[in-house]
Structure 1
Amino acid sequence: MGGTGGVALAGGGAWVGSTVAAQPAAAAAEAAIGGLTTPPAYAPSGRRPKYRRATWSQQFQTSHGWNAGGTGTASANANDTSVFVRGTQSVRVTTNGTGKQSYVRRTGMTAQNMTGKMIRLVFRVDDVANLSKLVFYMGSGSLANYFSWTFHAHSTTAANYVQSGEWVTVHLQWADVTSAAGTYSISAAGSPSTKTGFTDMSFAVYDNAGGPVTYRLQAVELVPDTATVFPKGVVSITFDDSHKSIHDLARPVMDSYGYSGTVYNIADAIGTGSFLTVGQMRSMQDFSGWEMAGHSYANATHTASYPKLTAEQADDDFRKLREWLVGNGFSSEHFAYPHGAFQKTSDGVPVDLIASRHFTTARSIISETIESFAPAMPYRLKALTGINDGSGIGGTALSKVTGAGGRLDRCVNSGDWLILCLHKVVEGTPATSTEIGKAGLTALMKAIDDRGIPVLTVEEAMASYT
């Protein structure tokens, strides 16, 4: 890396701070992990997917030919050498705080065929305090015709995929396209009217009209998409929190379809109250092929979430959890953040960086776009959560997944890795968004089966690219 590129994270992201970026790589890595330099007893194997080589790439080096503009732009430097993560420069743009569109754009390029490809973006927002949303446009006729992806809408309360001062990698697949204009259209099943002939691209940023945002664009690339390995996409069915109902109600339903799931477990809860026992976990793993993954070691950690802890406390809980899983015969190296929270610890260390010391992936509950192969950032896996067949209880209505043009249709027609996050299964009608009825779960499994979408555990899915 050159200049102030920062410390690279798995999957293409990086954490960059002004004090860290100026140090040699080894020292910066130590500083970024908060001084936690002793290797854990059970470190992850590192079985991560290989880096996907781009079939077309714009890395924004000298003479790149893209222009910054839009009514929301205050200033820009198309050849900024102060902060970058590839080569010797990136594009820097600062918005004007009006909520209007600011962009980095090029039109009239050689036409691209996007069949079997997805878009890879590498970018950074210096401070997300005033960020509203990020949108990517791809089209023709100087963008008179376009498809768009709204791939980030910033939240003031929940964990955000895009965080201040970090280089972020995002994959945009056809299953995630949000709108069309001009001669382009999206079918009722969520399929684009064309995947060829694209000459125009635009990376757009909107602030929240509360102040300016400075962003930096490093790469726009095309890489092979999920459909090149899974033509119908792939689904992973995951359950959080170790509820006993996963064994008693979910397992029999999924057994009837030959499906295995991933359970993200709280070690402290196992063998207590209405939670799984070690024996039930082993039975599911050994006789039905389920994956027993990690969610937290201590109940108190799950309740608080890792960002409320110091880096040392978080690392200790990760270590105990990993040792507990290995010590009880569970082979999974995968993890899910309690409440989906992977922001910085109370003393300023990114939780996903600490997770990488102990696990091979970590799953969030962010679903602005659906996950891909290979994942853009394995320690921020995206998942659709709150799926239920209730009424008036919030979450994600089951019909949004199983209905026409829903997530399953988009998965089978365009290809993606659809990670579903469930919690408790109930016999009757669910009362909260963290419950799904047995009837609803059965309907979900049938909908997946009817479409012929393969179902893999997270561990199995990741093995497809290692």
Structure 2
Amino acid sequence: MSRRSALRLAGTGGLVTAGGALLGTAPATPAAAAGIGNLGTPPTYAPTGLRPRRRPATWSQQFQAGHGWSAAGTGTSSADVNDTSAFVHGTQSVRVTTTGTGKQSYVRKLGGASTSLTGKAIRLVLRVDDTTNLSKLSFYLGSGSLANYFLWQFHTHSATATNYVQSGEWVTVHLQWADVTSATGTYSISSGGVPSTTTGFTDMSFAVYDNAGGPVTYHLQSVELIPDTASVFPKGVVSITFDDSHASVYGLARPVLDSYCFPGTVYNIADAIGTSSYLTLDQMHSLQDFSGWEMAGHSYATSAHTASYSKLSAQQVDDDLRTLREWLVGNGFTSEHFAYPHGAFEKTTDGVPVDQIASRHFTTARSIISETIESFAPAMPYRLKALTGVNDGSGVGGTALANLTAAGGRLDRCANDGDWLILCLHRVVDAAPAASTEISKAGLGTLLKAIADRGIPVVTVAEAMAYYK
């Protein structure tokens, strides 16, 4: 047995040989030094953080003195458009409290200078103090006092699933043309998902709706224009990712991707490797070394993956991430990228945000949120968005493959308008899928052909993040 194949990680966080010799251990308790959740001990392998820099804005409204925007709407109870109590740019932001009646509350500017969004995306920085009664967030871009507008319905709050917008956090959101929801007035969206115009806009409106169960207080810090994904990837870009280390990734998916010379990213559960129906170390190395795939991390312990990190303490999450990264490096896998178990990055049982802990060990972390599709560069690298449940089954739920491949579907929007479409797959099967986490080998072939026919490049997550450093 090779040294690489013999290495495994003990539950204590130490590297162990096949003979049982302990090579190193991680502390069992957090250090007293201050830090994220008082996790003062530095990671064994800190992330390099090699990723694209934050895009500089080509136009910016940061809501400082004299900004000229107003806060109103039938859903607005009170507002301070020059609030100095909470901000991350300058010395103030806009603060609004809704009425708790489910009506629209907004911050807007009408009749401004004509603006072009050709090759641009909208960047929002916002905060919701308490999301308990939040229903949805929208953005309108238009003209004629919003007689004509494009609408982005970019966040609908869930009482059960992981939310991109969480209580008390400043959040960055990118809105691209590939994600526009609808059009009104003289504006329209073609059958291929292309907007009728991307210039001549004079009106902008950021809208918030509570759920009629109580008021919501929100802050708007900035509305900016930045270069969009198409400025780097003119036809958009796709990353094909597989969660959970299923053996079918090697036996069924790899030959199909190889035929198109497409690489994939596998987010691995370390202690599942080499067990029944999961990848082996040799298969992982073959994927990495001969097919150009990326071997990324999903969890070290199967039990941690099953539980989800939000059901663990901050120290337990940090230990699992540390051990996972040690296992990847110790076995010759170079990826610094991670996907949350079940896509969840809420707070741990002792109140520490999971995405902050992930940032100690990895350069990005992927969710399964897909209200809008990811941009390049991403708005929040530790909340990468991905479309999950893609399948060609019947009556199994998830995302129907036809929703991607049909006219005006996600692939057309990716190719025609530009975005970074991260696809999250799980198991590949020979027969018809029996669950939303399965896609047939034939269905995978259909998906890859549709990507190739549109000329969309396929890259691993690591390769995407290597652009525009």
Q: Compute the TM-score of the two structures, normalised by the length of structure 1.
A: 0.93
Instruction: Name the SS of the counterpart of 1:365 in structure 2.
Output: coil
1:226 aligns with 2:222: no
Query: Structure 2: which 5+ residue stretches go unaligned?
Result: 1-32
Tell me how far apart the structure 1 counterparts of residues 263 and 376 of structure 2 sit (CA, whole Å).
Answer: 20
Indicate if the aligned counterparts of 1:122 and 1:168 stay in contact, CA closer than 8 A.
yes
Structure-1 separation of matches of 2:34 and 2:227: 35
The alignment partner of 2:296 has SS state of strand
Aligned length: 437
Give 3-state SS (helix, strand or coil) of 2:37's partner: coil
Task: Compute the displacement of 1:51 (Å).
Answer: 1.5
> 2:396 aligned with 1:393, yes or no?
yes
Do the aligned residues in 1 keep the contact of 2:34 with 2:40 (CA within 8 Å)?
A: no
Match of 1:130 in 2: 133
Alignment of 1:241 with 2:252, yes or no, is: no
| 1:358 aligns to 2:357 (yes or no) | no
Matched position secondary structure for 1:316: helix
- Cα-to-partner distance string for 1:20-67 (whole Å, 9 max, x where unaligned): xxxxxxxxxx76611012210101001121121100000000000000
Partner of 1:410: 413
Root mean square deviation of aligned Cα: 0.7
Which whole-Å CA distance do the structure 2 matches of 1:417 and 1:37 have between them? 35
The aligned counterpart of 1:98 is 101
User: Does 1:253 pair with 2:247?
Assistant: no
Q: Which residue of 2 aligns with 1:12?
A: none
Q: Secondary structure at the match of 2:95?
A: strand
CA distance in 2, matches of 1:434, 1:274: 15
Q: Distance in 1 between matches of 2:287 and 2:116?
A: 44
Specify the code of the residue in structure 2 equivalent to 1:386.
G
Alignment of 1:278 with 2:250, yes or no, is no
1:135–1:150 CA contact under 8 A, matched in 2: yes
Structure 1 residue 297 and structure 2 residue 300: aligned? Answer: yes
The yes-or-no answer on 1:191 pairing with 2:229 is no
2:324 pairs with 1:321: yes
CA deviations over 1:62-99 (Å, ceiling 9, x no partner): 00000001000000000000111110000000000110
What whole-Å deviation, never above 9, does each CA across 1:260-279 have from its counterpart, x for those lacking one?
A: 00000000100000000000
Tell me how far apart the structure 2 counterparts of residues 81 and 318 of structure 1 sit (CA, whole Å): 38
Aligned residues with identical type, % of pairs:
78
Tell me the secondary structure at the aligned position of residue 204 of structure 1. Answer: strand
Instruction: Note the residue ranges of structure 1 that are not aligned, 5 or more in a row.
Output: 1-29
Kindly indicate whether the alpha-carbon contact (under 8 Å) linking 1:232 and 1:412 is maintained by their aligned counterparts in 2: yes
Do structure 1's residue 140 and structure 2's residue 143 form an aligned pair?
yes
Cross-structure match for 1:43: 46
What are the equivalent positions in structure 2 for 1:148-227 lying under 5 Å apart?
148-227=151-230
Letter in 2 for 1:172: L
Q: Is 2:51–2:467's contact at 8 Å kept on the other side of the alignment?
A: no
Letter in 1 for 2:87: F
Amino acid at match of 1:145: N
TM-score with structure 2 length normalisation?
A: 0.93
SS in 2 for 1:223: strand
- d(CA) in 2 for partners of 1:300 and 1:32? 26
Cα distance in 2, alignment partners of residues 182 and 364 from structure 1: 35
- Residue 256 of structure 2 aligns to a residue whose secondary structure is helix
Indicate the SS of the match to 2:411: helix
Report the residue type matching 2:393 in the other structure.
G
- Deviations for 1:97-156, whole angstroms, at most 9, x for unmatched residues? 110000000011111110110000000000000000000000000000000100000000
Larger radius of gyration, structure 1 or 2?
2
Runs of 4+ in 1 over 2 A off after TM superposition: none
Structure 1 equivalent of residue 266 of structure 2: 263
Q: Does 1:306 align with 2:309?
A: yes
Q: What is the match of residue 457 of structure 2?
A: 454
Q: Match of 1:162, as an amino acid?
A: V
1:463 and 2:466 aligned = yes
1:365-376 alignment, distance < 5 Å: 365-376=368-379
8 Å CA contact retained: 1:373, 1:465: no
CA distances 1:354-380 after superposition (whole Å, capped 9, x unpaired): 000000000000000000011000000
For the residue of structure 1 that corresponds to 2:255, the secondary structure is helix
- CA distance in structure 2 between the partners assigned to 1:442 and 1:53 by the alignment: 39
Q: Which amino acid aligns with 2:414?
A: C
1:339 & 1:226 partners in 2: Cα distance? 27
Looking at structure 2, the residues matched to 233 and 454 of structure 1 have their Cα atoms a distance apart, in angstroms, of: 7
Amino acid at match of 1:358: H
